[in-house]
Amino acid sequence: MKHAAPEGVAVTAPDGVEVAAAAAHPSSDREAQQRARQQRLQRRAHSQKQDEEAVSIFLFLVFFMLAAQMLLFAWKKQHAKSYNAVTLLGLWLFPIIISAQMLFVKMILCCAQQPTPPPPPSPPSGSAPTPCACLWFRPVLLFDCLPSSLPYLDARIARSR
């Protein structure tokens, strides 16, 4: 036997559990579906807004990097000496700074033990320039690069057959 009650009034079922009369009403199902649909649309709109923001941030970063590269290129072209000095200083300082932030004590000690490089020797006046002092390096380089070039050479040989 069903108990009819006005909307919004709780009805006690025979097993002692209170049931809201509004849940049995068919319009409440439609309202719940409407609310769920509105929530989905709001989430979708929010997601689309986030996607648009992500694209705009990405484009900003790409243009910013391109502009920075152009400025660095112009700086290097106009003032090569200061550009080289600053980049060398950065190559020395950034590892030390990051090691200090991350508390890499061994890295800091290794950097501290490295002496500053001596100035390059001046060439003797009136003599011809010496040939490359590192002639031993060329065979080492070729020996090192040979294994990585073997697949390329093998493919070229197979194609020529």
Domain that holds residue 102: 79-115
Based on the fold, state whether residues 111 and 69 are members of the same structural domain. Answer: no
Q: Tell whether 93 and 50 lie within a shared domain.
A: no
Q: Do 73 and 34 share a structural domain?
A: yes
The pLDDT, as a whole number, for residue 152 is: 63
- How many Å apart are CA 141 and CA 156, to the nearest integer? 22
56 and 97 in a common domain: no
| pTM score above 0.75 | no
Helices 105-113 & 80-102 angle (0-180, nearest 10): 140
- Are residue 43 and residue 65 in the same domain, yes or no? yes
pLDDT class of 22 with cuts at 50, 70, 90: very low
Report which listed range, 61-65, 128-132, 144-148, is most confident. 61-65
In a domain, 42, yes or no: yes
Separation CA 38–CA 51 (nearest Å): 20
Q: What is the pLDDT of residue 92?
A: 83
**pLDDT tens digits, residue range 66-115?**
999 999 999 999 999 999 889 888 888 888 889 889 998 888 887 777 66
Q: Sign (positive/negative) of CA torsion 24, 25, 26, 30? A: negative
Contact of 50 with 37, CB cutoff 8 Å? no
Q: Is the pLDDT of residue 5 over 60?
A: no
Q: What is the tally of structural domains in the chain? A: 2
In order, the DSSP letters of the chain are -PPP--TT-EEE-TTS-EEEGGGGSHHHHHHHHHHHHHHHHHHHHHHHHHHHHHHHHHHHHHHHHHHHHHHHHHHHHH-HHHHHHHHHHHHHHHHHHHHHHHT-HHHHHHHHHPPPPPPPPPPPTTSPPPPPTTTTHHHHHHHHHHHHHHHHHHHHHHHH-
- 129 pLDDT more than 90: no
